[in-house]
């Protein structure tokens, strides 16, 4: 590696400050966006023990037509990187509610919660998904939203 990529040092290792931050309870979010996700950096980070606590999209006008598209696509990228479906779901539902202090209100199906649900389907195949630099990886699984329920009402 020729430059410092934030998470990684110039020689491709997770910088010690990130391990220290995790020990202190700092929450690490993906925040994909149009410039904040690299296959190489994500792979090396996960290989070295740094997984995202939360997975989000940083979706905006410069990223919804690619490379982000939507949250299920971003989630699919982390399935491809080796996180389990359970880890990916937790990082997009349970953990963000903890960070926001909204446990029991959102991110859960417990009685008394808001009743927001996204039904996802896992498709198998060959899906070229790209990082923020345009580098593509051929992913074999992709999550697709098939139904969205907000406050108990079907909206999609």
- Which pLDDT score is estimated for 109? 84
Does position 25 have pLDDT exceeding 50, yes or no?
A: yes
Longest distance between any two alpha carbons in the chain, whole Å: 52
**Residue with structure tokens 């389907």?**
121
Which is higher by pLDDT, 33 or 135? 135
Which of 32, 37, 38 has the alpha carbon at shortest distance from 55?
A: 32
Average pLDDT over residues 12-37: 93
Average pLDDT over residues 136-154: 95
- Which pLDDT score is estimated for 5? 55
Distance between CA 64 and CA 56 in Å, rounded?
13
Does position 140 have pLDDT exceeding 80, yes or no?
A: yes
End-to-end Cα separation, the chain, in angstroms: 44
Q: Is 56 left (phi over 0), alpha (psi -120 to 50) or beta?
A: beta
Say what percent of the chain tops pLDDT 70.
Answer: 97
Average pLDDT over residues 6-25: 93
* pLDDT tens-digit readout, 45-90: 999 999 999 999 999 999 999 999 999 999 999 999 999 999 999 9
Strand pairing category for 153-154 and 117-130: unpaired
- Which pLDDT score is estimated for 50? 96
DSSP-based three-state secondary structure for 137: strand
Average pLDDT over residues 91-108: 92
The residues, any chain, with a CB within 8 Å of residue 6's CB and separated by 6 or more, are 41
Inter-axis angle of helices 71-80 and 85-92, nearest 10 = 140
Q: Which domains does the chain have, with CATH numbers?
A: 16-154 (3.20.20.140)
């Amino acid at each position: 590696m020729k430059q410092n990529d934030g998470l990684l040092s110039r020689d491709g290792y997770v910088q010690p400050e990130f391990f220290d931050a995790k020990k202190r309870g700092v929450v690490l979010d993906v925040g994909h966006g149009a410039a904040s996700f690299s296959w190489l950096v994500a792979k090396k980070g996960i290989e070295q023990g740094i997984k995202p606590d939360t997975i989000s999209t940083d979706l905006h006008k410069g990223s919804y037509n690619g490379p982000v598209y939507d949250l299920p696509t971003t989630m699919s990228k982390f399935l491809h990187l080796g996180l389990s479906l359970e880890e990916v779901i937790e990082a997009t539902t349970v953990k963000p509610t903890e960070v926001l202090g909204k446990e029991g209100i959102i991110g859960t199906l417990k009685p008394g919660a808001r009743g927001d649900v996204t039904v996802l389907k896992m498709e198998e195949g060959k899906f070229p998904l790209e990082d923020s630099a345009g580098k593509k990886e051929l992913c074999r699984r992709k999550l697709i939203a098939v139904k969205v329920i907000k406050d108990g009402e079907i909206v999609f």
